Amino acid sequence: MKQSNTLNLENFWIPFTANKAFKEEPRLLVEAKGMFYKSEDDRQILDGIAGLWCCNAGHCHPHIVKAVQDQIATMDYATAFNMSHPKAFQLAEKISEITPKGLDRIFFGNSGSEAVDTALKVAVAYHVSRGEGQRTRFISREKGYHGVNVGGTSVGGIPTNRKSFGALLSGTDHLPHTWNPKEMAFSKGQPTWGTSFSRGT
């Protein structure tokens, strides 16, 4: 028997999903290994986006499974508010060794959405610290995706992601998207077109 036949589908509100339609025809994934999911009706489904861009080494990689199990057995979580733990510093050091010069201060977040909102706050705080608190405008691109939190949705250039929420952050401008299939050519060297996009004209 399918699990979807016995599950209560009322309480979990699925993001970016037409929930009413999903309840009528649920699509459930029950296992994952390597680059494939397995559905409840035993179909193998290629995971072309690595989970939600977070399983880049594949699903259930044995080394990752063991590392996670070992860490949870030692310490499942440690707050980073006024204290931390050795592995956070070790990971930050490793990341700083592969990032470009000058990008060697690492802030860990829970998601890309949180990272974007934090970056927006850091940008505003930077200008405030320099006595330029009036510099609060953000410039983004049409069709750009920057997450689902308030800041990321505001600077994001996808109207359908913003339409239900009003203005959100004020002071956000969107430049035209650079995608122009009529002018875009796959050739050697840099194309002659495109400078107008940087000016927003």
Averaged pLDDT of the chain: 89
Asked if residue 69 is part of any domain, the answer here is no
Compute the radius of gyration of the chain from its Cα atoms.
22
Asked if residue 72 is part of any domain, the answer here is no
Asked if residue 31 is part of any domain, the answer here is no
Q: What is the pLDDT of residue 35?
A: 95
pLDDT bracket for residue 31 (50, 70, 90) = very high
Helix (H, G, I), strand (E, B) or coil at 106: coil
Q: What is the DSSP letter of 7?
A: S
Residue where the block lists tokens 């707050």: 79
Helix (H, G, I), strand (E, B) or coil at 168: coil
Asked if residue 47 is part of any domain, the answer here is no
Q: Are 112 and 76 in contact (CB under 8 A)?
A: no
Start-to-end Cα distance in the chain: 58
Asked if residue 154 is part of any domain, the answer here is yes
Q: Measured between alpha carbons, how far is residue 143 from residues 12, 54, 175 in Å?
A: 29, 22, 10
pLDDT bracket for residue 142 (50, 70, 90) = very high
Looking at this protein, which amino acid is placed at residue 55?
Answer: C
In 3D space, the residue among 167, 170, 145 whose CA is nearest the CA of residue 16 turns out to be 145
Q: What is the pLDDT of residue 55?
A: 93
pLDDT digits (tens, 9 = 90+) for 147-173: 999 999 999 999 998 888 877 888 899
- Written as six digits, the tokens of 55 are 């399983």
d(Cα 10, Cα 28) in Å, to the nearest integer? 15
Residue 59 Cα to chain centre, angstroms: 18
Asked if residue 163 is part of any domain, the answer here is yes
Q: Are 59 and 49 in contact (CB under 8 A)?
A: no
Asked if residue 132 is part of any domain, the answer here is yes
Q: pTM here?
A: 0.75
Domain count, the chain: 1
Asked if residue 196 is part of any domain, the answer here is no
Q: Which residue range is the domain that position 159 belongs to? A: 112-178
Percent of the chain with pLDDT over 70: 89
More confident residue, 173 or 197: 173
Q: What are phi and psi of 33, to 5 degrees?
A: -155, 135
